[in-house]
Amino acid sequence: MAPIFSDIQEGYFKKIAFICLVFCWIVVTTSCSDKPEVRSKKVVLVILDGIPASIIEKVSTPNLDSISSAGGYARAWLGGEKGGYSETPTISAVGYNSMLTGTWVNKHNVKDNNIQIPNYYYWSIFRHFKETYPQKTIAIYSTWLDNRTKLLGEGLPETGNLKLDYHFDGLELDTVRFPHDTLSRYIHEIDKLVASKAVEEISTKAPDLTWVYLQYTDDMGHRYGNSPEMDAAVQEADRQLGEIWRAIKEREKNNEEEYLLIVTTDHGRAQGGYHHGGQSDAEREIWIASNSKFNKRFIQNPAIVDVFPTVARYLGIPIPKDHAMELDGVSLLGEVSATDLSGKIEGGRLKINWKNFGEKQVGKAWITFGNQFRYGNKDAYILLGEVNLEDESAEFDISNHAFQNAKVVLETPTGFLNYWVKNADQ
């Protein structure tokens, strides 16, 4: 049988095949090398304890100013809804946990610094991050051990045995090395070591999500109120912050990394600058600074609970829908459709209000009766209907439902808002 192709033809085809192969190889390799390097995104959260906005704005803080000029600075708030079901004490651990969980005390249940029965069903942003990206690293550098062991709940079955990859804390328990003096010099010394360790490990290990907590400013506020001592402590905190900020910039310069740095405080202080815990405007007022440029929400009264969704957005953490429906904050990065949902029931009608940020967007209003999420169960939401977000209000007939408490959720193109309502008719 005659061959289909002559030897010449076969040699010709082989040559063509070889040229095609080389061509494909060139295309593949050049298209790979032409791809822009993807910079890995990392987050550093810093809490400087108990510095009122009026003080941070008055005292010279060149490092905070440098961060703010790269991104922004805004007065902010915490404390939940004053006089409402989410009213939240302006106490340190309560404030940290509002940042970590993106919820107020009615959900996270950390009522004071004793941290007795946190509701770990409201996951911290650290847990969400680690559950999504187990290979990525989380770190804490802190002048208070409880931040790791109780708030983040390291090693507890209730937090899925969350494990921090790096930590440096608990020095306050070493009373031999750090004798507790009434002027809190030991806290100052510990802050310095904590800040240095954070700088060292950001520089060498570059954790993907880091929390730095420094305490000395709060001690000076309690002891001296508004005073030269407080101002000096704020300047010292700013110097420590400056070391962290320089370490971040070095990492960005020398590595394919990009950082979101958020600096905030955990409460304001009552008149005179001494105490906190109550609901005065001065105690509820805080501030947030960042190296990132934030959205419209940032210039219109952001809250500490906005930090969680902001970090989630930046790091690409997909928050499961049932968790997202519980968040009390909105992202300061990217688009925001609406904020500030509130509602009430009168005469069998649910009236809801919100603040619109978008244009011609549609939302969906949902309701569930009771609260299963707080027990680790799923809530069954019922769709009430669609709303035009520009209307900023809507009404629904719910007279055929018998209930005492309900959770209302407004689903928007950029996330969820929620509000609890009491049935006054019952």
Q: Of these, 154, 208, 218, 411, which contacts Zn ion (CB under 5 A)?
A: 218
User: Left (φ > 0), alpha (ψ -120 to 50) or beta: where does 107 sit?
Assistant: alpha
Taken as a whole, the chain contains a residue count of 426
Separation CA 57–CA 371 (nearest Å):
41
E strands along 144-185, which residues? 166-168
Question: Which residue's CB is nearer to Zn ion, number 50 or number 207?
Answer: 50
Q: Segment 5-64, which members bind Zn ion (CB under 5 A)? A: 49-50
Burial, 114: exposed, middle or buried (Cβ in 10 Å; 0-12, 13-18, 19+)?
A: exposed
- Burial classification of residue 289, based on how many CB atoms lie within 10 Å of its CB (0-12 exposed, 13-18 middle, 19 or more buried): buried
- Please, which residues have CB within 8 angstroms of residue 293's CB and are 6 or more apart in sequence? 71, 72
Shortest Å distance, C-beta 47 to Zn ion = 8
Nearest approach, Cβ of 278 to Zn ion (angstroms)? 13
Least spacing, CB of residue 72 vs Zn ion, in Å: 23
Specify the amino acid at residue 347: G
Of residues 258, 267, 362, the one with CA closest to residue 48: 267
Q: Smallest distance from the beta carbon of 169 to Zn ion, in angstroms? A: 16
Which one of 87-95, 233-241, 294-302, 417-425 is the stretch in contact with Zn ion (CB under 5 A)? 87-95
- Tell me, by CB under 5 A, how many residues bind Zn ion: 5
Min separation Cβ 99 and Zn ion, Å: 12
- Least Å distance, CB 266 to Zn ion, is 4
* Residue numbers 148-177 binding Zn ion by CB under 5 A: none
Residue 166 to residue 142: CA distance in whole angstroms: 11
Residue 102 binds Zn ion, judged by CB under 5 A: no
What is the spatial distance between Cα 198 and Cα 222, in angstroms, rounded to a whole number?
Answer: 26
Nearest residue (beta carbon) to Zn ion:
92
The answer to whether 191 contacts Zn ion (rule: CB under 5 A) is no
Beta carbon nearer to Zn ion, 213 or 373: 213
Q: Which two tokens stand for residue 194?
A: 């904590």
Q: How far is the CB of 267 from Zn ion (least distance, A)?
A: 5
The window from 11-19, 98-106, 210-218, 230-238 that contacts Zn ion (CB under 5 A) reads: 210-218
Q: Which of 335, 333, 394, 334 is nearest to 363 (CA)?
A: 394
Map residue 417 onto helix, strand or coil. Answer: strand
Shorter beta-carbon distance to Zn ion: residue 220 or 319: 220
Question: Is residue 92 close enough to count as binding Zn ion by CB under 5 A?
Answer: yes
Applying CB under 5 A, the span of 124-132, 139-147, 172-180, 213-221 interacting with Zn ion comes to: 213-221
Q: Contact region for Zn ion (CB under 5 A) — 166-174, 259-267, 372-380, 385-393?
A: 259-267
Per-residue interface string for the shown chain with Zn ion, residues 261-290, x marking contact by CB under 5 A: -----x------------------------
CA nearest 265: which of 59, 91, 29? 91
Considering the complex, state which of residue 266 and residue 379 has its C-beta at the smaller distance from Zn ion: 266
Helix (H) or strand (E) holding 40, with range, is strand 40-48
CB of 50 to Zn ion, least distance (A): 4
* Residues in contact with Zn ion by the rule CB under 5 A: 49-50, 92, 218, 266
